[in-house]
A and B are shown apart, each in its own frame.
Chain A
Amino acid sequence: MERVDVQTLRDAFIRQGIMLCFNGPFSATLIEEIGQALRKHMEGLSESQSSVTDVFTAYIELTQNIRHYTAQAGLTGVDAQATLTVSRNGEGRYVVDAGNVVKAADGAALVDRIESLAGLDKAELKAAFKAQLRQPRDPEAKTGAGLGLIDLARRSSEPLSCSLTPLNDGFSFFSLRVVI
């Protein structure tokens, strides 16, 4: 197996302003533990309650979405590993990036949805959120019924951006960026 090059990782983390990084399968417990660590770390930086909440929200919605999706799509092994980073960009804004393996068709549908949200202003996003909230709930559905992406778009200071890279066997790697 390739030897881990800690210094190259470190250099990349510093260059890209990455303050938190995780790669692997998310469990419910892990999501909570990392979330608490993220919150405490940000509070230690004396960030406002609002930005702590916004970053935490982006983190929770992204990781819980991935967990639900991965379970529902029946992905296992390396395909069930998700990648998450929290960083600060050149303007000092917090950026939450998350990526995971998806079925190619699901990935394409996600990209369409994110592009359609990107054209909405704050008032339209609020209306879309309330309309989605009023959709009848599937009693079997565990998730927030499509609310998550709209919530992320509302908390993002710029339109959500995403990428989709084809992998083998009808899968793609999907990643989503939220800039707080």
Chain B
Amino acid sequence: MQDLNVAGTDSIPSIQANWASGRLEMKGDSYPENAFELYQPVIDWIEVFLKTENRPLLMQLQLLYLNTSSIRAMMDMLDLLEDAHKQGKPVGVTWLYERDNERVAELAEEFREDYTLRFDIVPQE
């Protein structure tokens, strides 16, 4: 499977999916009109990785604002990781945010409370 490399803009985050290192990183704001057009390849990438590899997969997020269709797409990605976690696969999520941006912390926390996989929400100075 190929790596993904999406350059961010004002309305979409930068996305890097690295097969060799098992890391998926997304950074920035996400409010495209059609979030699934953007995220379907990422969802597919996660699905194939989890199906073919038993190595750890870490999703590292530095997302700021997500519109509701991006939130819906994020749920699909987290559901895939949660299923893998329940099958005993080593997956995890780290969500970094600036300490004074409490809306981001609330958003991350609302996701986290629906899952049992390792999900760290880490404030940055």
Q: Which residues of chain A have a CB within 8 Å of any CB of chain B?
A: 28, 32, 35-36, 49-50, 53-54, 56-57, 60-61, 64, 67-68, 126, 130, 133, 137, 142-145, 147-148, 151
Are B68 and A144 in contact, CB atoms less than 8 angstroms apart? yes
Are A49 and B68 in contact, CB atoms less than 8 angstroms apart? no
CA distance A13 to B34 in the complex (A): 33
Inter-chain contact total with CB atoms closer than 8 Å: 61
A18 to chain B, nearest CB (A): 24
Q: Among the listed stretches B44-52, B80-88, B100-108, which one makes contact with chain A, having 4 or more residues with CB under 8 Å of it?
A: B100-108
Contact flag A133-B75 (CB < 8 Å), given A60-B67, A142-B33, A142-B69: yes
Closest to B66 in A: A57
Are A133 and B67 in contact, CB atoms less than 8 angstroms apart? no
Closest to B69 in A: A144
B10 within 8 A of A: yes
Number of interface residues of B (CB under 8 A): 23
Q: Which residues of A contact B34 (CB under 8 A)?
A: 142
CA distance A134 to B102 in the complex (A): 25
Q: Which residues of chain B have a CB within 8 Å of any CB of chain A?
A: 10-11, 31, 33-36, 64-65, 67-69, 71-72, 75-76, 98, 100-103, 110, 114
CA distance A68 to B110 in the complex (A): 27
Are A137 and B103 in contact, CB atoms less than 8 angstroms apart? no
Are B71 and A60 in contact, CB atoms less than 8 angstroms apart? no
Are A142 and B10 in contact, CB atoms less than 8 angstroms apart? no
- Could you show 5 A-B contacts with beta carbons less than 8 Å apart? A57-B65, A130-B110, A133-B72, A142-B34, A144-B68
Q: Which residues of A contact B31 (CB under 8 A)?
A: 35, 60, 64
Contact of B71 among A54, A56, A67, A144 (CB under 8 A): A144
Contact of A36 among B10, B71, B100, B110 (CB under 8 A): B10
